[in-house]
């Protein structure tokens, strides 16, 4: 019975919240009770104490049950139950039950089996257990949902299955558990797992697929010893001999699709199997060509058309020319980047958009201008699509390299793993050189500090394993074109730089996925994406989910490191500036460190000389209330946002007067997508939030903070208080005048910081006011005095 009832079932990790360099985790979600039939979660119970009604926990329980894909939901106060049937079969849908009317496990299973229409043979497959290694590791909730959805669909006869799971969420482990259950149930007996990268096949065999043991072999003639995740070594079992003859005795085959097919008939090794040899084929990363009708993968899939085929992808491909949804059908389960970040399983990220003047303005050569090799440059306007493809500006490359290097230096960590995506291999070589020159001190210590890793560079490619190895410090910065954009598990990558266009949403998601893995051992909880080529315009695409936590656009003289930003909760509301009691600190800022020839038949590149390149800020972009990036004047946007919330100046003044805590008014505007800090920077005056709002939205002449503070001083507002209390209030007024703090003056924690901590302890400073409530009342009077002439 103990395995059927589990208490306090945690199913998320807690969202990662980033405040500058301070990183916390929000509270993980936990269900009070989950009831299982075998391994299948069937019912969820939310328990409340007897001061609540039986149904008070139902709404929370329904949210959890939707996430966990549990059909039967109960809420209880210990006196009775409220029951909700998410399957929709029960009439009525929600009803009250006495304590002795709670259904038995067999009754719940009977309801489930009837709802799903499971036949006895299908039932045994659906109830087949997961693989357990004794360590306690089990699938995460979304992996369980994906596994159950796939196994149930296959048990009921569906032969084309698509699973969409964001990069870094464990697609291979999910595939292993699906295969294991179908294999152990006798539903599938010969299985082929296909991937398009050798490293993926090898690591899969020695890690996730290791339990298949002697039943598993690789379709390869090259023997290889691989290191497991635990450090031990194993020699891969091969299903081919030196003459490429296949041993048909195995049950689980893993293959690199390039190794079993090719343009010539003699290369099509898969034809050595009979078309009905495999009854299950799993295609990893099926977005990469498998759905194209003329692709090599498609040829393999159609040859084994009688087999059940499962496609795994992070990005279902949908274009005019190719569609894996068309081939596999709609996904049976989807786990998105946005959900992974929300649950705390994936790392959130910041975006820095850097606009270079030559990219914004374009480049047009002077009449008769030649490049540094003496070629006459074609007279037309070149833009960022041309740069490094048909026209090279060395100073541009150097400016990008300097920006990246400045960022690393000012971040305080020059050893954070970094990928720089370039236009092509030649651009990657020039970028490598420029980065070496910008980081000569560290390159002298180790020549592998900066390396190019491209398909045509054997020395660089040999270092790929070291780059993705968390234990290996080098290489640190790698330049590439496309080799690292997909399929490389770079767990510790903290900085991704885009200096090439990314035309495909599929590829953009894959590139973002290079950074989304959390690596707690090295304190990697978030990453930064730097965009020089407007690739992040994909955020505006409705197909993109998982927007960044911060977007920063530095000017030429701004620090490349983003300033501390106000994090938002999942509804888009500002979180407190300091961690709450429900958050756990997982990483804190370190101590501050002071910043220390082309073939004739190919299109020729022009190499421009002596063209200075600087950073400019082209435009302001922000997320509107719908979560979309909008480009507009910040003043216009702010004015519209305020007037949507407060229809008139009187409405605003009334709300400001009535608000006991002024930050509640500012929080309301933040919910509308209006953050006052960037607006304050643009206005450039020492205005507090009240005057800023009145001035921008309602054209009122503003008073500076000093003018308001002086007015309060002249009126002797503090005369009724004793000298000690007066001193505290005068210090608060000075803090408002100098720093603009108005929203949290009544927070007693303000008394812990300068200048108050030099005046006494918070208890000593509050004592002249009689009590904490007396202190808060005095501060509210001070706030009212600041605004009583206007508001």
pLDDT tens string 712-723: 888 777 777 888
Residue 631 has pLDDT above 60, yes or no: no
Q: Which residues pair with 9 in a beta bridge?
A: 31
Q: What is the pLDDT of residue 550?
A: 58
Give ∠ CA 414-417-421 in degrees, rounded to 5. 110
On the CB side of 290, CA atoms within 13 Å amount to 28
- Rounded mean pLDDT of the chain? 80
Taking Cα atoms as reference points, which of 203, 149, 217, 159 lies closest to residue 181?
Answer: 149
Which among 244, 283, 285 has a CA at the least distance from the CA of 262?
Answer: 244
Q: How far apart are CA 97 and CA 558, in angstroms?
A: 64
Above pLDDT 70, what percent of the chain? 79
| pLDDT above 80 for 624 | no
Q: What is the pLDDT of residue 291?
A: 45
Q: Which of 184-193, 486-495, 631-640 has the lowest mean pLDDT?
A: 631-640
Give the residue carrying structure tokens 């969202």: 15
pLDDT reading at 336 higher than 90: no
Predicted pLDDT at 529:
87
Q: Rounded mean pLDDT of 682-694?
A: 76
- Give the span between the Cα atoms of 91 and 136, in whole angstroms: 39
User: What's the rounded mean pLDDT across residues 369-396?
Assistant: 84
Apex 689 CA angle, 683 and 694, nearest 5:
75
Confidence label for 72 from pLDDT (cuts 50, 70 and 90): very high
- Look up residue 173 and give its DSSP letter: H
Contact call for residues 251 and 183 (beta carbons, < 8 A) = yes
Distance CA 88, CA 82 (A): 15
Q: What is the pLDDT of residues 459-506, one digit of tens each?
A: 888 888 788 888 888 999 999 887 654 556 677 888 999 888 887 777
Q: Look up tokens 């596994």; give the residue.
A: 147
**Considering only 45-54, 229-238, 370-379, 751-760, which range has the smallest mean pLDDT?**
229-238
Determine the pLDDT at residue 621: 44
Mean pLDDT of 742-746: 59
Which of the two residues, 449 and 591, has the higher pLDDT score? 449
Q: How confident is the model at residue 282 (pLDDT cuts 50, 70, 90)?
A: very high
Q: Is residue 710 classed exposed, middle or buried when 0-12, 13-18 and 19+ CB atoms within 10 A define those classes? A: middle
The per-residue pLDDT for 734 is 83
Three-state secondary structure of 89-150: CCCCCEEEEEHHHCCCHHHHHHHHHHHHCCCHHHHHHHCCCCCCCCCCCCCCHHHHHHHHHH
- The confidence score (pLDDT) of residue 685 equals 64
Locate 533 and state its tokens: 């080529």
Q: Write the CA distances from 471 to 229, 480, 483, 693, 790, integer angstroms.
A: 12, 22, 22, 52, 62
Residues 6+ apart with CB under 8 A from 53: 77
Name the phi and psi angles at 454, rounded to 5. Answer: -135, 165
Helix (H, G, I), strand (E, B) or coil at 667: helix
Q: Check residue 325 and give its pLDDT.
A: 60
How large is the angle between the packed helices 649-658 and 689-698, nearest 10 degrees? Answer: 160
Q: Is the pLDDT of residue 646 over 50?
A: yes
- Position with higher pLDDT, 619 vs 773: 773
Checking if the pLDDT of 754 tops 50, the result is yes
What is the biggest distance separating any 2 CA atoms in the chain, rounded to whole angstroms?
100
Q: How far is residue 454's CA from residue 484's CA, in Å, rounded to a whole number?
A: 8
Average pLDDT over residues 605-611: 66
Q: What is the DSSP letter of 211?
A: G
Name the residue with higher pLDDT: 325 or 527: 527
Buried/exposed 213-233: b ≥16 CB within 10 Å, e otherwise:
eeebbbbbeeeeeeeeeeeee
Tell me how far apart the alpha carbons of residues 58 and 72 are, in angstroms, rounded to a whole number.
11
């Amino acid at each position: 019975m103990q395995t059927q009832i589990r208490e306090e079932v945690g199913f998320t990790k807690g969202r990662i919240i980033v405040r500058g360099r301070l990183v916390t985790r929000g509270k993980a979600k936990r269900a009070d009770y989950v009831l299982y039939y075998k391994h299948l979660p069937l019912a969820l119970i939310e328990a409340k104490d007897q001061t609540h009604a039986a149904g008070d926990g139902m709404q929370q329980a329904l949210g959890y049950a939707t996430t966990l894909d549990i059909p039967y939901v109960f809420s209880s106060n210990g006196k009775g139950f409220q029951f909700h049937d998410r399957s929709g079969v029960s009439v009525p849908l929600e009803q009250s039950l006495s304590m002795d009317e709670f259904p038995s496990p067999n009754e719940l299973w009977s309801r489930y089996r009837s709802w799903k229409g499971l036949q006895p043979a299908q039932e045994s497959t659906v109830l087949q257990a997961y693989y357990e290694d004794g360590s306690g590791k089990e699938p995460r909730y979304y992996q369980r949902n994906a596994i159950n959805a796939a196994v149930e669909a296959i048990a009921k006869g569906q032969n084309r299955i698509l699973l969409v799971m964001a990069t870094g969420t464990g697609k291979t482990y999910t595939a292993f558990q699906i295969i294991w259950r179908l294999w152990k149930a006798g539903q599938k007996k010969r299985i082929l797992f296909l991937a398009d990268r050798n490293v993926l096949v090898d690591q899969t065999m020695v890690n996730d697929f290791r339990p298949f043991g002697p039943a598993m072999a690789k379709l390869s003639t090259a023997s290889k010893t691989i290191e497991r995740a635990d450090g031990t070594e194993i020699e891969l079992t091969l299903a081919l001999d030196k003459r490429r003859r296949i041993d048909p005795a195995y049950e689980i085959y893993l293959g690199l699709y390039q190794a079993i097919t090719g343009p010539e008939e003699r290369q099509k090794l898969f034809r050595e199997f009979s078309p009905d040899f495999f009854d299950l084929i799993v295609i990893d990363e099926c977005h990469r060509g498998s759905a194209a009708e003329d692709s090599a993968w498609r040829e393999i899939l159609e040859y084994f058309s009688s087999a059940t085929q499962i496609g795994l992808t992070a990005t279902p491909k949908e274009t005019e020319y190719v569609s894996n949804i068309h081939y596999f059908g709609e996904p049976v389960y989807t786990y998105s980047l946005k959900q992974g970040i929300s649950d705390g399983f994936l790392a959130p990220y910041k975006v820095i958009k850097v606009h270079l003047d030559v990219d914004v303005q374009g480049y047009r050569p002077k009449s008769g201008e030649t490049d540094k090799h003496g070629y006459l440059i074609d007279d037309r306007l070149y833009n960022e699509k041309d740069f490094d493809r048909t026209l090279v500006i060395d100073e541009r490359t150097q400016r990008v390299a300097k920006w990246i290097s400045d960022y690393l230096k000012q971040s305080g960590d020059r050893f954070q793993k970094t990928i720089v995506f370039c236009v092509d291999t030649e651009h990657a070589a020039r970028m490598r050189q420029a980065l070496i020159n910008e980081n000569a001190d560290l390159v002298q210590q180790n020549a592998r500090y900066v390396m190019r890793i491209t398909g045509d560079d054997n020395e660089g490619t040999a270092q790929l394993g070291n780059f993705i190895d968390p234990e290996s410090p080098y290489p640190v910065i790698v330049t590439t074109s496309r080799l690292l954009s997909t399929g490389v598990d770079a767990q510790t990558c903290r900085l991704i730089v885009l200096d090439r266009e990314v035309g495909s949403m599929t590829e953009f998601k894959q590139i973002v996925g290079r950074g989304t893995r959390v690596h707690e051992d090295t304190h990697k909880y978030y990453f930064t994406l730097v965009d020089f080529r407007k690739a992040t315009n994909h955020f505006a695409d409705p197909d993109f989910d998982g927007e960044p936590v911060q977007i920063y656009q530095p000017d030429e003289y701004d620090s490349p490191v983003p300033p501390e930003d106000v994090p938002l909760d999942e509804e888009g509301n500002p979180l407190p500036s300091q961690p709450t009691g429900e958050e756990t600190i997982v990483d804190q800022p370190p101590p501050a460190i002071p910043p220390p020839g082309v073939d004739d038949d190919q299109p020729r590149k022009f190499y421009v000389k002596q063209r200075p390149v600087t950073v400019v800020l082209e435009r302001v972009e922000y997320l509107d209330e719908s979560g979309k990036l909008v480009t507009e004047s910040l003043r216009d946007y702010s004015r519209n946002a305020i007037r949507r919330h407060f229809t008139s100046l009187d409405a605003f003044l009334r709300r400001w007067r009535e608000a006991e805590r002024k930050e509640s008014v500012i929080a309301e505007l933040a919910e509308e997508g209006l953050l006052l800090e960037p607006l304050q920077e643009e206005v450039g005056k020492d205005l507090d939030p009240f005057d800023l709002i009145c001035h921008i939205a309602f054209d009122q002449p503003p008073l500076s903070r000093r003018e308001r503070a002086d007015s309060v001083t002249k009126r002797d507002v503090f005369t009724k208080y004793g000298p000690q209390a007066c001193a505290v209030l005068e210090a608060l007024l000075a803090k408002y005048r100098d720093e603009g703090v108005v929203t949290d003056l009544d927070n007693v924690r303000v008394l812990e910081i300068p200048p108050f901590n030099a005046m006494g302890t918070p208890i000593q400073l509050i004592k002249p006011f009689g009590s904490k409530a007396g202190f808060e009342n005095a501060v509210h009077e001070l706030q009212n005095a600041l605004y009583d002439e206007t508001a």
